[in-house]
């Protein structure tokens, strides 16, 4: 009899000890599986899979609606945008996207999606309420990354084959500047203050930091991971903390996430994660970072303040995109 | 009246069959390779399984002449069946993947991942 309370106290002590490493998080993690044709739903507190929802074919880019009630999903092989109701986990009427949508960004107004159409070298603007494409903007060959400035005025699209970041005026829908970056730019990420855009170049193996107003490259960040050949270092996803202290860059088949001082642009460390790490997402308070690992079919969980990987969780086949619903 | 209904039904079925044939035809026309390796592929050839009758370099169908990781490549001049696939990657390796099933009417005809690259030189 006396052992029960003793074990209970020990368990409580163990839990107290573990608590800082695994803080409670009342959010939901959503992962698109591009070969599994599904969305994996995980509980942010327990890090357990709570649901796998079949969706359209080859789901890649995903983004939350402004009210967090819907998930927009680029269903690349269906040539449309799936709309998943996150309260019922049912698919609603899809939105048009133009052909082969891969990635997109939601305007801060929550009413417009900006979609890269790889096959047609276009950026399509989708009016969510009207459920139609209201504008098509010609850009470089094989458009990919999409980023919208925090004030919604400037759109940055990257084109893989042209190796450029195209700055688009959102009032005129015209390209106003083309910034040359290294080969195969994949992702464009604005800083929260709108001062910079960071663009990853997958084949070039670098990240270009672009002045958002002058539209010139102010820094090119390179990577060197001990024991990893240079050709395996393929930067794709980027996230930057709101205070612009740190940036995290997914390095593809290098299986590492680079931690960068976003003030000095110095790479501080490399975190070992799953295989072919592709995209990244913070939770709401930026205490955790989640990565999709396309070859190992899992996500890695990073404790941001400690800058260490604390867990990996299996998801669907070829995880691609990730977002966190608060 | 009954005869008219039968004729209309036959007409509808015939129309549906034509639509289905057209849909199948366009889907079957879409033959694409999905590069699920972690390297850029610079050359890609197919030969009927067990032969050395290599076709043209399919990478020439791509706009930049290469197939990056996770990218798709349109395959031309090939019908569904089993093929040996030979590829040259950015590292200079030449790999052969044998007896690959190439299917039609699907979003992608076949894929190759790192785990499939077991027969490579150097």
Reported ipTM: 0.80
- A231·B107 Cβ contact <8 A: no
Residue A164, token pair as written in the block: 């450029």
pLDDT in the model for residue A253? 95
A323 strand-pairing partners = A30
CA atoms of A47 and A31, how far apart (whole Å): 13
Three-class secondary structure of residue B51 per DSSP: coil
How far does the CA of residue A170 sit from the closest CA of chain B (Å)? 28
Q: Read off φ and ψ for residue A168, nearest 5 degrees.
A: -115, 130
CA atoms of A299 and A321, how far apart (whole Å): 10
CA-based radius of gyration for chain A: 20
B82 strand-pairing partners = B101
pLDDT in the model for residue B30? 75
Residue A82, token pair as written in the block: 């799936």
* Of A114, A155, A158, A154, the residue nearest A135 (C-alpha): A114
Question: Given the structure tokens 């690992």, which residue do they identify?
Answer: A293
Cβ of residue A142 closer than 8 Å to a chain B Cβ: yes
List of chain B residues whose C-beta atoms are within 8 Å of the C-beta of residue A77: 107-108
How far does the CA of residue B9 sit from the closest CA of chain A (Å)? 31
Contacts of A136 (CB under 8 A, 6+ apart): A98, A122, A123, A124, A125
Three-class secondary structure of residue A232 per DSSP: helix
Residue A244, token pair as written in the block: 């612009």
Q: Which of residues 54-93 of A touch B (CB under 8 A)?
A: 57-58, 77
- A231·B90 Cβ contact <8 A: yes
Find the closest chain A residue to B107 by CA distance: A77
- B68·A160 Cβ contact <8 A: yes
pLDDT in the model for residue B115? 93
Q: Give chain B's contact residues with A (Cβ, < 8 Å).
A: 36, 38-40, 63-64, 68-70, 90-91, 107-108, 113-114
pLDDT in the model for residue A120? 87
CA atoms of A127 and A120, how far apart (whole Å): 19
Three-class secondary structure of residue A209 per DSSP: strand
Three-class secondary structure of residue A32 per DSSP: strand
List of chain A residues whose C-beta atoms are within 8 Å of the C-beta of residue B113: 295
* Of A61, A65, A42, A70, the residue nearest A288 (C-alpha): A42
CB atoms within 10 A of CB A224: 10
**Tens-of-pLDDT digits for all 326 residues of chain A?**
333 334 344 444 444 444 444 554 579 999 999 999 999 999 999 999 999 999 999 999 999 999 999 999 999 999 999 999 999 999 999 999 988 898 999 999 999 999 999 888 999 999 999 999 999 999 999 999 999 999 999 999 999 989 999 999 999 999 999 999 999 999 999 999 999 999 999 999 999 999 999 999 999 999 999 999 998 999 999 999 999 999 999 999 999 999 999 999 999 999 999 999 999 999 999 999 999 999 999 999 999 999 999 999 999 999 999 999 99
* Of A127, A167, A122, the residue nearest A144 (C-alpha): A122
For the segment A159-205, what is each residue's pLDDT rounded down to a tens digit? 998 999 999 999 999 999 999 999 999 999 999 999 999 999 999 99
CA-based radius of gyration for chain B: 20
Task: Establish, for the pair of chains A and B, how many residue pairs have beta carbons separated by less than 8 Å.
Answer: 35
- B91·A231 Cβ contact <8 A: yes
Contacts of B5 (CB under 8 A, 6+ apart): none
Residue A3, token pair as written in the block: 């052992």
- B69·A234 Cβ contact <8 A: yes
| A181 φ/ψ sector (left φ>0, alpha ψ -120 to 50, else beta) | beta
Please identify every stretch of chain B with a pLDDT value under 70, giving residue numbers as ranges. Answer: 1-29
Please give the C-alpha separations between residue B115 and each of A75, A294, A299, B120, B121, in angstroms, as whole numbers: 26, 14, 20, 12, 15
């Amino acid at each position: 009899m006396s052992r029960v309370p003793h074990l209970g106290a020990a368990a409580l002590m163990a839990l107290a000890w573990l608590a800082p490493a695994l803080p409670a998080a009342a959010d939901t993690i959503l992962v698109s599986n591009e070969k599994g044709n599904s969305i994996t739903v995980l509980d942010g507190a327990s890090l357990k899979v709570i649901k796998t929802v079949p969706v359209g074919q080859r789901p890649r880019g995903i983004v939350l609606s402004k009210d967090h009630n819907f998930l927009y999903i680029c269903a690349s092989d269906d040539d449309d945008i799936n709309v998943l109701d996150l309260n019922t986990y049912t698919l609603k009427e899809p939105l048009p996207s133009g052909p082969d949508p891969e990635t997109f960004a939601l305007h801060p107004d929550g009413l417009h999606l900006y979609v890269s159409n790889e096959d047609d070298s276009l950026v399509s603007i989708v009016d969510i309420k009207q459920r139609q494409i209201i504008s098509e903007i010609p850009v470089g060959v094989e458009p990919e990354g999409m980023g919208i400035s925090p004030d919604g005025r400037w759109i940055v699209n990257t084109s893989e084959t042209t190796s450029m970041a195209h700055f688009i005026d959102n009032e005129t829908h015209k390209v106003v500047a083309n910034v040359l970056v290294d080969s195969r730019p994949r992702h464009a990420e604005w800083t929260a203050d709108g001062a910079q855009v960071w663009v990853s170049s997958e084949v070039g193996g670098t990240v270009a930091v672009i002045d958002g107003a002058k539209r010139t490259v102010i820094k090119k960040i390179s990577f060197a991971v001990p024991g990893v050949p240079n050709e395996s270092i393929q930067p794709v996803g980027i996230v930057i903390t709101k205070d612009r202290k740190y940036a995290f860059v997914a390095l593809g088949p290098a299986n590492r996430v680079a931690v960068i001082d976003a003030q000095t642009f110095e790479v501080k460390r490399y975190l070992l994660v799953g295989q072919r790490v592709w995209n990244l997402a913070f939770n709401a308070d930026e205490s955790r970072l989640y990565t999709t690992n396309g070859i190992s079919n899992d996500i890695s969980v990073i404790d941001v303040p400690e800058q260490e990987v604390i867990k990996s969780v299996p998801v669907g086949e070829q995880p691609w995109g990730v977002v966190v619903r608060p | 009246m009954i005869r008219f209904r039968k004729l209309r039904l036959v007409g509808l079925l015939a129309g549906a069959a034509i639509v289905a044939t057209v849909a199948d035809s366009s889907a079957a026309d879409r033959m694409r390779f999905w590069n699920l390796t972690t390297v850029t592929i610079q050359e890609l050839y197919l030969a009927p399984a067990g032969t050395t009758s290599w076709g043209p370099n399919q990478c020439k169908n791509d706009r930049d002449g290469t197939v990056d990781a996770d990218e798709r490549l349109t395959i031309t001049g090939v019908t569904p069946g089993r093929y040996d696939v030979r590829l040259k990657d950015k590292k200079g390796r030449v790999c052969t993947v044998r007896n690959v099933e190439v299917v039609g009417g699907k979003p992608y005809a076949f894929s190759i991942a790192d785990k499939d690259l077991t027969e490579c030189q150097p």
